[in-house]
Amino acid sequence: MKRFAYTLAIATLALVTPMQAAEKDIVDTAVEAGSFTTLAAALEAAGLVDTLKGDGPFTVFAPTDEAFAKLPAGTVESLLKDIPALTAILTYHVVPGMVDAAQVVTLSSADTVNGQSLAVSVTDGKVKIGAANVVATDIMATNGIIHVIDTVMLPQAE
């Protein structure tokens, strides 16, 4: 059984598995957590697994399986067939470089890999990235960091 150390990261509670997570890349860390199966399948379908296993560093705002389940019925299935749209959404969740929780809360926005910016806000001690609540922070990987979010963020239509 994994043991989690709890630390307060400025405005949100952080879940960290210090030794195990730091030994794996972002993809393997997410897969091992067990709550990102939809994200892992989407990364595979979009051909982004190798990229997120690369050198990085990357900051990933990772939606949980529950976040994907909140999308309207059939959305995930449709996206898995529309690789350009899926890729745009997934890369909207990735920020180049390593941005830990202490840095995130000082930002008003963050530029994503897909070229659009995410709004960052802190209200009543809660951190939001776009419309998503950050529910866990600073999960370390060998090539970056993961912050867990409760909503799939959709980029603006171009």
How far is Cα of residue 28 from the mean position of the Cα atoms in its chain?
13
In this prediction, residue 7 has a pLDDT band, given cuts at 50, 70 and 90, of: very low
pLDDT beyond 70 at 2 = no
pTM for this prediction: 0.85
The full set of domains in the chain, from first to last, is 5-149 (2.30.180.10)
pLDDT beyond 90 at 16 = no
Query: Regarding predicted confidence, which is higher, 142 or 22?
Result: 142
What percentage of the chain exceeds 70 in pLDDT?
A: 85
- Whole-number Cα distances in Å, 14 to 33, 34, 57, 66, 147: 14, 17, 20, 19, 9
pLDDT tens track for 28-77? 999 999 999 999 999 999 999 999 999 999 999 999 999 999 999 999 99
Arithmetic mean of pLDDT over the chain: 86
Give me the pLDDT at residue 15, please: 39
SS3 for 111? strand
